[in-house]
Structure 1
Amino acid sequence: MTPVSSHSPHGQSPLRTVQVLGGGHAAGSAHVRSLAAGLVARGVRVTVCAPLEADHTYDFTGVGAEHVHVPRSSDPASVAALRAACTGADLVHAHGLHASFRTALALSGRSTPLIVTWHDRAHADGPRAHFLRLLERRVAKAATVVLGTTSALVDRARRTGARDARLAAVSLPGRRVPPVRDEPDRTRSKIRAELGAVERPLLLAVGSLERHRGHDVLLDAAHAWLRLDPVPLVVIAGEGPLHGELRRRIESEDLPVRLLGRRDDVADLLAAADLALLPSRWEARSPLAQEALRARVPLVATAVGGIPELVGDAAELVPYGNARALADAVGRLLGDPGRRELLAERGVRQAATWPTEDETVAQVLSVYDELTRPRPLV
């Protein structure tokens, strides 16, 4: 794709954007890095406001953006720092609910256009769920444009009061890997041996150990897999507050499940797996779903949020919370190599329909151009 320049044909100054990131959402952080790289390449001046550790992990400065440290906090000092960083910007683009709320506070009283991207929805139960709905309403009404990464998020933004909500399906940036790699077959065999799945199926789930991820349903389903021969091994990569609860269930119920904790080799784990599992209560554009389809690994997922729109007919979809349906879908796939191969082929075709990083940047830049007035000469 031919790069789009942010310079006006009449010699106007380059567009200056501020990207605001909370730093707690991996997919959003990777998207901001990709977006910053693409915007800088097109002549846009980009400042990324994010916690210092986010820049260490995603290297925004390495792609030509300026980084300003802004803590993940809505206290007056953080809001004041964000307000100062946004001074003189042509527009501000915030990613995620909490970052968007802080940005709305920082831009209060200014006419600077505010674009908000909802990469996912916030998850909570009880009183906190009500609080998050209030934040969503405040952010939706404050934003000039809300970009939702799925149709479900766009609909949610409209119901919440957004003046202008649009679909902006973002690409999954490619993983940065070391330049020297083992051969794929050797890596697969090594990981399966390390996990104890040399002569048994390996099922992989990835996600924080929180209630909405559905790992409790996954453990319920694992009881049925004890009747299979050989018994598959389920591994869960991720960490979170439910670690102790899940570990106690695994031990007391003698389930064929291992908690791996945080892993930085998810791509290698996926390449070693026979199936990928996504039992969540809600997902937007799940990175695991995207990586599984690209890697030709059959996926069993819940039919929630943006998953049906994302995967089409390239995965087995089951209702959320239905352990029997999840267990049966996995059992059928393990016993049907032809079906697994069909899903693998469909996955590659479906992945080819997703936007590229270039297309994602071009779409966002078209929104920027629409919202910004001609800028005076510098």
Structure 2
Amino acid sequence: MTPVSSHSPHGQAPLRTVQVLGGGNAGSSAHVRSLATGLVARGVRVTVCAPVEADHAYDFTGAGAEHVHVPRSSDPASVAALRQACTHADLVHAHGLHASFRAVLALSGRHTPLVVTWHDRAYAEGARAHFLRLLERRVVKTAAVVLGTTSTLVDRARRTGARDARLAAVALPGPREAFEPEDPDRLRPKVRAELGATGRPLLMAVGSLDRHRGYDTLLDAARVWRRLDPVPLVAIAGEGPLRAELQQRIEDEQLPVRLIGRRDDATELLAAADLALLPSGGESRSVLAQEALHARVPLVAAACGAVPELVGDAAELVPAGDAEALAHAVVRLLDDPERQELLRDKGLRQAATWPTEDETVAQVLSVYDELTQPRPLI
């Protein structure tokens, strides 16, 4: 059934929006793809400004949006390309700090409303941290509305000077039809054999190999797991600047850990695991945590950031940075099938409380409606 749009009534032009992505982490890119699909279905014209690699990965054009290649850089050429793409927009919606700052520059001197979604907090130290705070202040004071994916981000936006900051409804997008995973029960033995986890527990972590992800803590915990029989295998899917350093530690300490690189089948890998591990709350709405609960995979996670708010009592939570607590929580859970089953059931109930994609699109449309006036036909 084709949705009937309330955004193209007789005598009124369709709402024209521009979605702006930077490099685009997995969460924000998937969110924009989901938004584009829902908005287009409701009669909204959507242009996505993002690096061409993001369109290849998330197929914004396949969702019915127009894609305009805008490099991640904030150099004058990129800002000019974004400014051109926003020329006829009724509203611009930027995702993430760097994309939002480029949108601020591109809209300078115009009265086009700017909506900003903060998906994560930008991490930095020293002089760069001060620079990022300046960017945050510039962005939130320019934006008409700031949407934060967690209450912590909403509070941060308000403290930084936002005129209007609200909690965003952000759904975990379902797999696109062309990429629907195969039957997980049938795939499970194949995936485990490929990873070398036949006859031993498989512990799965997913995320870029960056300092704030807590992988040092995870490797410290893996020392304890070497003493188990059978020894669990920890598989980490992701790439990043720490790869060489982590790999050196794995080899030097003979840890039962494999770095398997960036994977397009992370959802299938996770579904084949005995436990999912989230050693840091670096993401505001962790995709790993959400997918683990949806897939009925027990989760052991650091109790920091927005993780407790996201998972409630449906995961084993341990203090962030405490390798001993992480190690022993995993050991206890592997030895307690009843607790595992309880967490699987709690996970499904918790996941049912999260916003749906329709609810996410509806909230965004209500914000757009507040900020735009009736648009006469051109």
In the superposition, the TM-score normalised over structure 1's length comes to 0.96
Partner residue, 1:262: 262
| Correspondence list, 1:311-330, <5 A | 311-330=311-330
Query: Could you tell me whether the CA contact under 8 Å between 2:184 and 2:272 is conserved in 1?
Result: no
Partner residue, 1:292: 292
TM-superposed CA distance for 1:91, in Å, is 0.7
| Correspondence list, 1:136-147, <5 A | 136-147=136-147
Query: Could you tell me whether the CA contact under 8 Å between 2:140 and 2:146 is conserved in 1?
Result: yes
Per-residue displacement from partner, 1:252-308 (whole Å, max 9, x unpaired)? 111111111111111111111000000115321111000000000000111112111
Partner residue, 1:190: 190
Partner residue, 2:5: 5
Per-residue displacement from partner, 1:106-150 (whole Å, max 9, x unpaired)? 111111110000111112223222221221111111111000111
Partner residue, 1:244: 244
- In 2, the alpha carbon distance for the partners of 1:268 and 1:180 equals 10
- In 2, the alpha carbon distance for the partners of 1:280 and 1:339 equals 22
Partner residue, 2:16: 16
- In 2, the alpha carbon distance for the partners of 1:181 and 1:371 equals 39
Query: Could you tell me whether the CA contact under 8 Å between 2:8 and 2:43 is conserved in 1?
Result: no
Going from structure 1 to structure 2, the CA distance change for 1:92 and 1:4 (only over 3 Å counts) comes to: farther
Partner residue, 1:81: 81
Supply the AA of the counterpart residue of 1:138: R
Going from structure 1 to structure 2, the CA distance change for 1:45 and 1:6 (only over 3 Å counts) comes to: farther
Partner residue, 1:363: 363
TM-superposed CA distance for 1:3, in Å, is 4.4
Partner residue, 2:70: 70
In the superposition, the TM-score normalised over structure 2's length comes to 0.96
Match of 1:134, SS state, is helix
Supply the AA of the counterpart residue of 1:159: R
Supply the AA of the counterpart residue of 1:376: P
Match of 1:80, SS state, is helix
TM-superposed CA distance for 1:5, in Å, is 2.3
Match of 2:240, SS state, is coil
The reply to whether residue 377 of structure 1 matches residue 371 of structure 2 is: no
The reply to whether residue 153 of structure 1 matches residue 148 of structure 2 is: no
| The 10-residue stretch of structure 1 (208-217 or 82-91) with the greater mean CA deviation from structure 2 | 82-91
- In 2, the alpha carbon distance for the partners of 1:182 and 1:30 equals 20
Listed as ranges, the gaps of 5+ residues in structure 2 are none
Task: Give me the identity figure in percent.
Answer: 80
Match of 1:68, SS state, is strand
TM-superposed CA distance for 1:11, in Å, is 2.4
Over the aligned positions, Cα root-mean-square deviation in angstroms equals 1.7
Partner residue, 1:130: 130
Going from structure 1 to structure 2, the CA distance change for 1:251 and 1:268 (only over 3 Å counts) comes to: same
TM-superposed CA distance for 1:186, in Å, is 3.2
TM-superposed CA distance for 1:10, in Å, is 6.0
Match of 1:338, SS state, is helix
- In 1, the alpha carbon distance for the partners of 2:338 and 2:177 equals 32
Going from structure 1 to structure 2, the CA distance change for 1:50 and 1:227 (only over 3 Å counts) comes to: same
| The 10-residue stretch of structure 1 (167-176 or 294-303) with the greater mean CA deviation from structure 2 | 167-176
Listed as ranges, the gaps of 5+ residues in structure 1 are none
Query: Could you tell me whether the CA contact under 8 Å between 2:224 and 2:327 is conserved in 1?
Result: yes
Query: Could you tell me whether the CA contact under 8 Å between 2:17 and 2:91 is conserved in 1?
Result: yes
TM-superposed CA distance for 1:353, in Å, is 0.9
- In 1, the alpha carbon distance for the partners of 2:178 and 2:16 equals 33
| The 10-residue stretch of structure 1 (320-329 or 338-347) with the greater mean CA deviation from structure 2 | 320-329
Supply the AA of the counterpart residue of 2:154: V
Supply the AA of the counterpart residue of 1:345: D
- In 1, the alpha carbon distance for the partners of 2:367 and 2:177 equals 32
TM-superposed CA distance for 1:179, in Å, is 6.8
TM-superposed CA distance for 1:354, in Å, is 0.9
Query: Could you tell me whether the CA contact under 8 Å between 1:281 and 1:304 is conserved in 2?
Result: yes
Going from structure 1 to structure 2, the CA distance change for 1:70 and 1:182 (only over 3 Å counts) comes to: closer
The reply to whether residue 232 of structure 1 matches residue 210 of structure 2 is: no
Partner residue, 2:216: 216
Query: Could you tell me whether the CA contact under 8 Å between 1:6 and 1:44 is conserved in 2?
Result: no
Query: Could you tell me whether the CA contact under 8 Å between 2:169 and 2:359 is conserved in 1?
Result: no
TM-superposed CA distance for 1:4, in Å, is 6.3
**Number of positions where the alignment pairs a residue of Structure 1 with one of Structure 2:** 378
- In 2, the alpha carbon distance for the partners of 1:278 and 1:131 equals 29
